[in-house]
Amino acid sequence: MNKHFDSALRHKNSDLTEKLHEHHRGISGHTKLYCLLGNPVAHSLSPAMYNYSFLNHGIDACYTAFKVSEEDMPKALSAVCALGIKGGNVTMPGKTAAAKLCHELSDAAEIIGACNTFVNEGGRLIGHMTDGLGFTDSLRLRGYAPEQKRIVLLGAGGAATAILVQCALEQAAQIHVFNRRSPRFIAIGQVIERLKDHQPSVDIHLFDWTDVQQLQRSIAAADLLINATNIGMAPHIDQLPLPDVNCLRDDLAVADIIYNPEETKLMKCAREKGAPLVIGGHGMLLYQGRAAYKIFTGLEMPVKDVGREIFGIEILE
């Protein structure tokens, strides 16, 4: 197990690695177990992130990862209950299957139809979705909130769907979603219909990405532009998810969920236009873990230390 932590810590710190090893040498019959379920999981930094946080708070708990296919998710979650595993996270490809197997779901998880976090309450599995909350928390870190904002959201994948739902739950005024017509377009359209019933005060519309004039009109009226696609991700760092850089303005906040590169072309262009807020994807990645940790323990993850020691990034707080 220690080899997994060594390989996961991309930014090596021998003192930290030894502390994590020491933490696991203290495992006993009283140690609470948490886990990550999915495939692949060997690359995940989640074990290092959560175990560092347990160590920081002096909690007798251990977090590990299990390679689980979508087909085996029912057996895995049954084992969670049988073995008394306290909780954990679900990554691809099992988020939808896990939501169907939970006894109860948070509002976000129920609307999306997927969960990435669960807790075991005496054999009852409670499912949550923290991806969208991680995004909105990363905005709040910079003094910005979705409430009463007009938002343009590019993309219709899992991250985009989670962001859409969380922004609606947090009372955004308007959300215009753009994606090419595809199975994802249809799927996010179904989520939007459920959202309209749950959050009728939020004005939500879905548009075809190829409708350039509508995209330009929507961005012209927006307060916040969110790129939740992979356009601009390494190695394609010269790509821009907009038809024209002139869509950007000095009063339009811009968020990009991509974290490699740290600054995408969209972010660079937004800064050059004088955007009041420009943020990348590291915050969402880290803050969705913070939200899950609070669900697990009721405590605040030491985000700044985790960012520096585990992810090799500096988080402003």
Domain assignment present for 151: yes
Domain assignment present for 230: yes
What pLDDT sits at residue 13? 63
pLDDT of residue 21 exceeding 90, the answer is no
Known catalytic residues? 95
Whether residue 232 is found in the same domain as residue 245: yes
pLDDT of residue 108 exceeding 60, the answer is yes
What pLDDT sits at residue 301? 97
What pLDDT sits at residue 10? 47
Whether residue 46 is found in the same domain as residue 110: yes
Domain assignment present for 275: yes
Domain assignment present for 190: yes
What pLDDT sits at residue 316? 65
Whether residue 143 is found in the same domain as residue 251: yes
Lowest mean pLDDT among 7-11, 69-73, 198-202, 233-237: 7-11
Domain assignment present for 317: no
Question: Which of 218, 232, 226 is CA-nearest to residue 176?
Answer: 218
Count Cβ neighbours within 10 Å for each residue of 173-188 and write b for 16 or more, e otherwise: ebbbbbbeeeebbebb
Whether residue 186 is found in the same domain as residue 49: no
Grade residue 14 by pLDDT with cuts at 50, 70 and 90. low
CATH classification at residue 296: 3.40.50.10860
What pLDDT sits at residue 272? 97
Mean of the per-residue pLDDT values for the chain?
A: 92
What pLDDT sits at residue 8? 46
pLDDT of residue 39 exceeding 60, the answer is yes
What pLDDT sits at residue 242? 96
Determine the average pLDDT of the residues in 173-178: 98
pTM over 0.85: yes
pLDDT of residue 250 exceeding 50, the answer is yes
Determine the average pLDDT of the residues in 200-226: 97
Question: Which of 278, 277, 285, 262 is CA-nearest to residue 135?
Answer: 285
Lowest mean pLDDT among 27-31, 202-206, 216-220, 269-273: 27-31
- Scanning 84-210, the segments in alpha helix (DSSP H) are 95-101, 107-112, 131-140, 158-169, 183-198
pLDDT single digits (tens) 45-66: 999 999 999 999 999 999 999 9
What pLDDT sits at residue 27? 87
Whether residue 182 is found in the same domain as residue 240: yes
pLDDT of residue 3 exceeding 50, the answer is no
**Structural domain of 56:** 2-129+286-311
Both tokens assigned to 60: 């007798």
pLDDT of residue 147 exceeding 90, the answer is yes
User: Which residues make beta-bridge pairs with 89?
Assistant: 36, 117
Whether residue 240 is found in the same domain as residue 300: no
What pLDDT sits at residue 17? 72
Determine the average pLDDT of the residues in 102-117: 97
Domain assignment present for 316: no
What pLDDT sits at residue 7? 44
Grade residue 100 by pLDDT with cuts at 50, 70 and 90. very high
What pLDDT sits at residue 315? 76
Domain count, the chain: 2
What pLDDT sits at residue 312? 85
Backbone angles phi and psi of 238, in degrees to 5: -95, 0
Determine the average pLDDT of the residues in 270-296: 95
User: Which residues make beta-bridge pairs with 117?
Assistant: 89, 128
What pLDDT sits at residue 311? 86
Q: Which residues contact 231 (CB under 8 A, 6 or more apart)?
A: 154, 239, 240, 241
Grade residue 72 by pLDDT with cuts at 50, 70 and 90. very high
Whether residue 229 is found in the same domain as residue 256: yes
pLDDT of residue 20 exceeding 80, the answer is no
Domain assignment present for 56: yes
